[in-house]
Structure 1
């Protein structure tokens, strides 16, 4: 919707005397200014911000990998414990303890 509004405003400005190239340049500058302000508010305006963001992405990826591995290990252990309990139940049901004695 904002693109349509911007396009309409640019056409209106062109109709009232401003040329289309000037209006496009104004819109581009306004966009860059808004983006710069947003980066300043987020604390990402300095030169080290790109490196910081890359490190944060790497850390987030490592966290996701660790979380996935922990879940896989927990499920694996739960399956093993369930299988052991099932085998113990079957052994008790069929009198395996009597055979051992």
Structure 2
């Protein structure tokens, strides 16, 4: 909940209390409104069925696997770049030091 929303809710509850409403009743109304809003949001997202928790867990697993795969891919690419660079340096050194003449 953002600070602005919390301040408005606190102000409304204070107003209700000053106008004679019981603070416990106001808190219950706010809680019910929050639960109703959350249920509506989940329904709009298609996450209001019993299998939603399992689906979300599977999606999180899939996302974690995707992130791991991306990390592994970048490590592999970097490793190959380093190997190719080292191979080029060694080839240049061999050419500079006359390795090709020594082999013949």
State the TM-score, normalizing by the size of structure 2.
0.95
Q: What's the CA shift string for 1:60-100, capped at 9, x where partnerless? A: 11111111111111110110000000000111111110111
Alpha-carbon separation, structure 2, partners of 1:68 and 1:98: 43
Per the alignment, residue 95 of structure 2 pairs with: 92
Alpha-carbon separation, structure 1, partners of 2:73 and 2:17: 61
Offset, 1:36? 0.3
Alpha-carbon separation, structure 1, partners of 2:15 and 2:68: 53
Q: CA RMSD in A?
A: 0.6
Alignment of 1:13-92 (within 5 A): 13-92=16-95
Per the alignment, residue 7 of structure 1 pairs with: 10
Moved over 3 A (4+): none
Give the gaps of 5 or more residues in structure 1. Answer: none
Query: SS state of the match for residue 47, structure 1?
Result: coil
